[in-house]
Chains A and B, each alone.
Chain A
Amino acid sequence: MNASDFNNNSLGTSTTLEDVFDAFEFLDDWEDRYAFIIDLGKQLPPFPESQRTEVNYVHGCQSQVWLIHHYDKDSGKLLLLIDSDAIIVRGLAAIILVALNNRTPADLLATDIDKLFERLDLFRHISPTRGNGLRSMISKIQKLATAQAA
């Protein structure tokens, strides 16, 4: 894995949570909201093929999710990359990156991701009852941050 794999990720850098909230405010029906989620998923940087390994695989019954990370010592920030074979899951992963990517471990752990998804009316997608792997992925990211903060 190269540190450069994490460059050029707009999610959590130039695209912020405010951008997502603003967009959702203007989208009235579910079709427009999902079209926005799908588009956001297209902003995920390419996931390095060599990193699609068992170690980086997050288990979900419905779809496959991969996660890699890099701790940037200079900035003290945790950089994250996510991929999935399902398009909606990619979009939801993009929202997670907007919230959690490029944060210091302390900032990351202070982020209430459930509240954020509730505000977007998307909480059921990351609830433990959905087998799409996103809940396990969030736990994995939080563990990474805890380990880094220690």
Chain B
Amino acid sequence: MNTASVAQTTQPLFDVQAVRGDFPILSQQVNGKPLVYLDNGASSQRPEAVLQAMDSYYREMHSNVHRGAHTLGDRATDAFEGARIKVQQFLNAASAQQIIWTRGTTEAINLVAHGLAAQLKPGDEILLSQMEHHANIVPWQMLAERTGAKVVPIELTPNGELDMESYDSLLSERTRILAITHVSNVLGTINPVAEMVAKAKAHGVITLIDGAQAVPHFQPDVTALDCDFYVFSAHKLFGPTGIGVLYGKVELLEAMPPWQGGGEMIEKVSFAGTTYNTLPYKFEAGTPAIGEAVGLGAAIDYLANLDRSAMEVAENGLLQRANELVPSVPGMTVIGTAANKVPLMSFKIDGLHPSDIGTLLDQQGIAVRTGHLCAMPLMELYGLPGTARASFAFYNTQEEVEQLFAALQKIQRLFA
């Protein structure tokens, strides 16, 4: 990343209009108004390149993978395994066998929580944080129930950052697992995961990073982070639904038992006993989401052709514009004001319920998320019934940010 030097140039950094043209869904009207899609944190949209890749996969090469008896099977397998290599390169993982396909972030975390059961005993602690998505809380609670281990949350500061003193004090010889989000889906906070992993390692703690909200905004380097597991979903990374990624260290993946049983994950099946396939197939029972893997590979290729540091500058510009406009809506408070944030803004407005905000923004063609955002413990911590959240992607424009605030002002007039 070289954002500083990019920011100094006076040339247009990033041609957002050209990029918008790559996303057919964006050029439509909703409720009679041009769509302003600001719910990218829940799921982002797909570029034409992804749609075409999936279309031509099904038109030209679909067959089951790893069966090896005919030409279509070879084509499908090449496309499928090629996508795995793209993910490996995207994450800067050492080998493709460390990339396991899952249905998404949620399944990836469940797979790891299931696989680590044998390594836990009563009294062991699983550290996570008060800002986790339910997907990075509940699988660990289920694991704790099975093993007698305990889930312990790291506290937050009032502005929505992890309290690193709380983290330091909770890290002990009882800690066995650290499962932490790279970026908060509610607060937008980018957590100092590299520093946290280094500290955890010093205590022999297994580390998992939930990258679901991070990958749409920047590219993680799992080798540099040195985390044991990194997980994300394709549908937030401009790829298809129904597929996600688990990256893991080889020793840990080897030590974990299989997740589901069936075809593909076996080496030999017999009623006398079954032996399991090698990585990554040991964790991929059944016919995988082949077309979706191809789509994810195309999304990664698409992103690789964009200037990601210029994108980051443009995205930060969206958040900056939003922050500038907050005072134009009386009674509006931003939830989560960390110094290091992705372009995402959760907020409340005095006298308005998040559901009212969502309904009346939708009426104006603007899509945001409202509710507890799958982070009920965080809502409880900050005493909120829920929030409204505008989450931006690189294809959003400064004008759209301005439309959001004009729409919020209109809603306020309606309730006055």
Instruction: Give A contacts to B, CB under 8 Å.
Output: 30-31, 34-35, 38, 61-64, 85-89, 125, 131-132
Contacts and interface: CB of A to CB of B under 8 A. Distances in A.
A39 B382 CA distance: 30
Given A63-B355, A88-B356, A125-B359, A131 B414 contact: no
B216 interface: no
Interface string B384-416: 011000000000000000000000001000110
Nearest to B358: A62
Given A31-B410, A34-B414, A85-B385, A131 B356 contact: no
A87 B410 contact: no
B354 interface: yes
Given A31-B410, A38-B414, A88 B371 contact: no
Nearest to B363: A30
B353 A85 contact: yes
Contacts of B385: 63-64, 85
B354 A38 contact: no
Contacts of A125: 359
B403 to A, nearest CB: 16
Contact of A31 (B355, B386, B414): B414
Interface residues of B, number: 18
Interface of B: 31, 352-356, 358-360, 363, 370-372, 385-386, 410, 414-415
Contacts of B386: 62-63
B133 to A, nearest CB: 15
Contact of A87 (B363, B372, B415): B415
28 contacts: A30-B31, A30-B363, A31-B410, A31-B414, A34-B360, A34-B363, A34-B414, A35-B414, A38-B415, A61-B371, A61-B372, A62-B354, A62-B355, A62-B358, A62-B371, A62-B386, A64-B385, A85-B353, A85-B385, A86-B354, A86-B355, A86-B356, A88-B353, A88-B355, A88-B360, A89-B353, A89-B355, A89-B356
Contacts of B355: 62-63, 86, 88-89, 132
Contacts of B360: 34, 88
B104 to A, nearest CB: 19
Nearest to A64: B385
Nearest to A92: B359
Nearest to B362: A124
Contacts of A34: 360, 363, 414
Contacts of B358: 62
A150 to B, nearest CB: 35
A75 B272 CA distance: 74
A47 to B, nearest CB: 15
A30 B411 CA distance: 11
A85 B384 CA distance: 12
A31 B356 CA distance: 13
B406 to A, nearest CB: 13
A73 to B, nearest CB: 37
B354 to A, nearest CB: 7
Nearest to A33: B363
Contacts of B354: 62-63, 86
B304 to A, nearest CB: 36
Contacts of A63: 353-355, 385-386
A86 B372 CA distance: 14
Nearest to B351: A87
Q: 3 closest pairs, A vs B, by CB?
A: A86-B353, A86-B355, A63-B355
A131 B372 CA distance: 12
